[in-house]
A and B are shown apart, each in its own frame.
Chain A
Amino acid sequence: MKVHVHITLKKGVLDPQGKAIANALISQGFSGINDVRQGKFLELNLDEMEVQAAHDLVDKMCTKLLANVVIEDYRIDLDI
């Protein structure tokens, strides 16, 4: 089964890369941009298992390794 994990910097943590991207978009002539946050996207391919079990497993992976919870939030998508 495939599981997607989105990792972004927490609200309140300065994201200078996101800011630079927003500025680049504005300088390309795009308007209406309020904010850009840059993050990471991981696609995991796991053995088939119950949805809840997969969620718990990936949640553990996130707190132990994939995300640094001091600075990052993560979101797990299972229904893909």
Chain B
Amino acid sequence: MKAAIIVFPGSNCDRDVRVALENNLGIKPRMIWHKETELSFVDLVVLPGGFSYGDYLRAGCMAANSPVMREVVEKANKGVPILGICNGFQILCESELLPGALLRNAGLNFVCRDVYLKVTNDRAIFTKGYGLNEVIRLPIAHHDGNYFADEKILKKLEDENKIAFRYCSEDGELTNDANPNGSAKHIAGILNNKENVLGMMPHPERLAEPALGGTDGQVLFETIAKILGN
């Protein structure tokens, strides 16, 4: 399989994702600069975390309007798996590949710590490796992760089971204390209609091998590799 990691000015998790893909998928992903427009070769696109364009105007907004994103949107519409992590999630929302928006954290602080997540969709290419309602641990590191959408969209996400991950306590309870940023419905990650696009605030690449202190993120990459083949 051939993966592309899109690199924007200000991306800072692009190399971490590369290592996670190299170690788990056994492939050499291509690093694609945001000005490139050639993506015909890919069967997986990752939008990494960071602060693309310095979060000017709104987090992810400038990146969503960069040349490469037109190609990414086209790929997404053709069913190619697209994974947006942290800033990548913000970019996916700004590109309207995913509904809603990510607002400033309710507590106003930049939150950088491990959180527990409940896996609430176990059928997408990214989430099949987890059990339904399994509790996993992943790090978050963001200032604008407070997911917002109107009631109609939230209901649709819930009814159609498009919420992939929800912030929870260690034992899987959706308590207020376990919600680090005020996200509606404790949303940490959502899927599009076809479930080939996943946006998530937590960083699976940061817990993707034992040396990093955990492997809950590794499962996500391994599952993609299993399904797409090396």
Q: A residues within 8 Å of B by Cβ?
A: 9, 13-14, 16-17, 20, 40, 65-66, 68, 70-71
Q: Is the CB of A70 within 8 A of B149?
A: yes
Contact of B105 among A16, A68, A70, A71 (CB under 8 A): A16
Q: Can you name the residue of chain A whose Cβ is closest to the Cβ of B184?
A: A14
* B50 CB–A CB distance under 8 Å: no
The residue from B58, B108, B182 contacting A17, defined by CB atoms under 8 A apart? B108
Residues B141-155 near A (CB distance < 8 A): 146, 148-150
- Residue ID in chain B nearest A65 by CB atoms: B65
Given contacts A65-B61, A65-B65, contact A71 B101 (CB under 8 A): yes
- CB neighbours of B100 from chain A (8 A): 70
List the A side residues contacting B58 at CB < 8 Å: 68
**Given A16-B107, A16-B108, A66-B57, 15 further pairs, Cβ under 8 A:** A13-B148, A14-B103, A14-B106, A14-B146, A16-B104, A16-B106, A17-B104, A20-B108, A65-B61, A68-B58, A68-B61, A68-B94, A68-B101, A70-B93, A70-B150
Q: Which residues of B contact A16 (CB under 8 A)?
A: 104-108, 182
State A40–B99 Cα separation when bound (angstroms).
Answer: 23
What would 14 A/B residue contacts be, using CB atoms closer than 8 Å? A13-B148, A14-B146, A14-B182, A65-B57, A65-B61, A65-B65, A66-B57, A68-B58, A70-B99, A70-B101, A70-B148, A70-B149, A71-B101, A71-B103
List the 7 closest pairs (A to B, CB-CB), nearest first: A70-B101, A71-B101, A16-B108, A16-B106, A68-B101, A68-B58, A71-B148
CB distance from B8 to the nearest CB of A (A): 16
Q: What is the bound-complex CA distance between A68 and B149, given in angstroms?
A: 12
Q: How far is the CA of A41 from the CA of B57 in the complex (A)?
A: 11
Shortest Cβ distance from A4 into chain B, in angstroms? Answer: 16
Kindly list chain B residues whose C-beta atoms are within 8 Å of the C-beta of A65: 57, 61, 65
Q: Which of chain A's residues have a CB closer than 8 A to the CB of B150?
A: 70
CA distance A13 to B93 in the complex (A): 16
B173, chain A: closest CB distance, angstroms: 23
